[in-house]
Amino acid sequence: MKNTIFITGASSGFGKETALLFQRKGWNVVATMRSPEKETELAALPKTMILPLDVTDQASIAQAVGKAMERFGQIDVLLNNAGYGLIGVFESATAEQIKKQYDVNVFGLMSVTKAVLPAMRLQKQGVVINISSFGGITAGQFSSLYNSSKFAVEGFSEALSHELAPLGIAVKIIEPGSVATNFREGMKMIRNGIPDYDPELSLLMSRYAKRTAHLAKASASDVAETIYLAATDDTSRLRYIVGDDAAFYIDLKQKNSEAEFLRLMRE
C-alpha cells in the first residue's frame, strides 16, 4: 500500500505545491481546502482526493479524516498548512480578529492533529508536519498576533514531539522565510484608527524588505521539497529552516545577546 499524505490548505501556495510534489513521488494525496469545487488541477490527478475542510469546523475535520481513511486506509503524514497572517497595530485589532487568528493558526492546527493521531497510533508510525515561520522564533513590529500564533505552534510542536516519539510518531516544524505565494496576497491588515502609530506603520513593509533585500528567498517549490525531506528522512530532527532570510532572522536572535538582538530589530 502506498503512503498517504493529508494536507490542509491545499488550494494554493505551500499546500498545493506539496500536493503536486508528493503525487509525482507516487504518494496518495488527500488535499483539503475550504472550497474544493474551485480546484481543477489536483482533481484531475490519480491517487489524489480533494475534500472540503475548514480547520475551524470540527464536523468538517472529522468528515474529511474519515473519508481519507475509508479510501486509503492510512494517513502516514499530516501537513498542517492552513493559516494566514494578521498584521498591524495590536491596539487597533478587534476581539473577533484576535480570536480568528488563533482559531485558524493554532486551534485549527491542534484540532486536525487530534483527529489524525488515532490512526497514526494504530499504525504505530506517522509524521506530523506543522508549517510555522521564522516568525515563530523571532517577533517583529506590528506582527504581534501572527507571531504569537506561530510561537504557539512552535511550543505545541516541540512538546508534542516528546509526547509522540515513544509511539513511533514524529513531529516536524517547517520555518520558511518570505516566499512569493498567495499568503502575502491573503494577508489580513488591521485597520488602524490610532494616529500615534502611523509614522512607524507607514515604514513597515519597506523597512522589512530592505533588511533582507540582499538575501535569496525560497520558492514555494523549495518549501515543498523541504516538507518532503521532513516526511521521509526518518530522523528525530525537529526544525527545518527554508530561505536565507529566515536563517538571517533566526541567527540574529540565537547568535546575539538579547540586548543586541533587540537593538538590531528596532533600528
Q: Is 132 a catalytic residue?
A: yes
Burial 137-146 (b: 16+ CB within 10 A, else e): bbbbbbbbbb
Q: Quote the percentage of the chain above a pLDDT of 70.
A: 97
Q: Exactly one of 150, 157, 172, 240 is catalytic; which is it?
A: 150
Q: Quick: pLDDT tens for 82-93.
A: 999 999 999 999
Q: Quick: pLDDT tens for 140-198.
A: 999 999 999 999 999 999 999 999 999 999 999 999 998 865 545 558 999 999 999 99
Task: Assess contact for 99 and 202: CB atoms under 8 A.
Answer: no
Count of CA atoms in the C-beta half-sphere (13 A) of 111: 21
Q: Which of 43, 51, 44 is nearest to 67 (CA)?
A: 51
Q: Quick: pLDDT tens for 98-155.
A: 999 999 999 999 999 999 999 999 999 999 999 999 999 999 999 999 999 999 999 9
Residue 96 in this model has a pLDDT that exceeds 80: yes
Q: Exactly one of 11, 144, 146, 240 is catalytic; which is it?
A: 146
Q: Check residue 180 and give its pLDDT.
A: 64
Name the pLDDT band for 1 (thresholds 50, 70, 90): low
This prediction has a pTM of 0.95
Report the alpha-carbon distance of residue 24 to residue 182 in Å, rounded.
23
Cell of 236: 528525530
Q: Which of 2, 120, 36 is nearest to 15 (CA)?
A: 36
- Per the structure, how many domains does the chain have? 1
Q: Exactly one of 11, 16, 111, 132 is catalytic; which is it?
A: 132
For β-strands 169-176 and 126-131, DSSP reports them as parallel
Q: Is 228 a catalytic residue?
A: no
Q: Which of 80, 65, 110, 60 is nearest to 7 (CA)?
A: 80
Q: What is the CATH number of the domain that holds 8?
A: 3.40.50.720
| Containing structural domain, residue 207 | 4-266
